[in-house]
Amino acid sequence: MKCVSASASDLTARQQGPRPLISRPFALWRAVGLFLLLAILAGCVTAPVERLASQARLAGLQPVSLPTADFMLQGYERAAAGRHARIYIEGDGRPWRAGGRVIADDPSPRNLPALTWMASLPGPSLYLGRPCYFQTSAQPACNAMLWTYGRYSDRVVAAMAQGLQSWLQRHPQIDSLTLVGHSGGGVLALLLAERVPAVVEVVTLAAPTDVALWAELHEYTPLFASLNPADIEHWRPQVRRRLFFGEQDRQVPPASFAPSAQSIPGAQVSVIPDIGHDCCGPALWADD
């Protein structure tokens, strides 16, 4: 029993391969199976959603739903005076489980550094969710490709751009944006900034600026349905881009990714000593 769409189940089946035979008395096996089923149904979707809602509520943030052509994006906002807002994008979460052999039913991240940063800084801001992340119920357009090989696809970026534009329409006093993205959220921030004219600054934190190189480095299947910032030839002018890497980061080692980051016109690249993939707190990049 899985909380996934049919397409996700098909992909999972191909990843898992044959299952071992288990010898158990039928009654005991049925009882154990029922217990596991109830546990899955209780926790497969709600745990990340409830964790996010709890932390956001403690920070005084308000939930917001942002409609797009195919999805309803979930996020949190802080309404405050000001014409400039920060937009926070979390990392990829957990697209896979079982050591990368099985597609996760719910990719929503358990660790929420971007939300923590948002909670610590004043001013108008939005925690922008991705398609199919932090959902309390299934959306027909969701399928596993959107959080696995197509996690940075044109469809994902276009939906997030639509959601962000709809949020701006609700807040007409805001006329400029800084996008703050952690890990894979930084990849999306770079891509999203090319589509939203209000973006004047991008801050990426431990972001793999070349996703093809990232997959090759870790010997993963290439993200064949995703866009790659390293392939962008013409970047929007007059956008400030600050890219931070942790010196001890094994997931996104700066020695591998700083060169592609430095190839972005006007990019300011910083390697922060004695820190890993949890790079980097607002003390380094928040100007106010």
Q: Which DSSP helix (H) or strand (E) runs through 9?
A: helix 6-16
pLDDT of res. 18 = 34
Is the CB of residue 200 less than 8 Å from the CB of residue 176? yes
How many domains would you assign to the chain? 1
46 occurs within a structural domain: no
| Cα–Cα dist 235/245, whole Å | 21
150 occurs within a structural domain: yes
182 occurs within a structural domain: yes
pLDDT of res. 46 = 54
pLDDT of res. 14 = 35
pLDDT of res. 36 = 34
Is the CB of residue 233 less than 8 Å from the CB of residue 253? no
121 occurs within a structural domain: yes
pLDDT of res. 288 = 61
SS3 of residue 95 by DSSP: coil
28 CB neighbour count, 10 Å cutoff: 9
CATH number at residue 123: 3.40.50.1820
In terms of residue numbers, what domain contains 234?
51-285
18 occurs within a structural domain: no
230 occurs within a structural domain: yes
| Cα–Cα dist 138/8, whole Å | 12
Measured in degrees and rounded to the nearest 5, phi and psi for residue 65 equal: -110, 130
Measured in degrees and rounded to the nearest 5, phi and psi for residue 131 equal: -55, 130
131 occurs within a structural domain: yes
pLDDT of res. 15 = 35
pLDDT, averaged per 10 consecutive residues of the chain (288 residues), comes to: 36 35 39 35 59 91 95 95 97 90 91 96 97 89 96 98 97 97 98 98 98 96 97 95 98 96 94 96 89
28 occurs within a structural domain: no
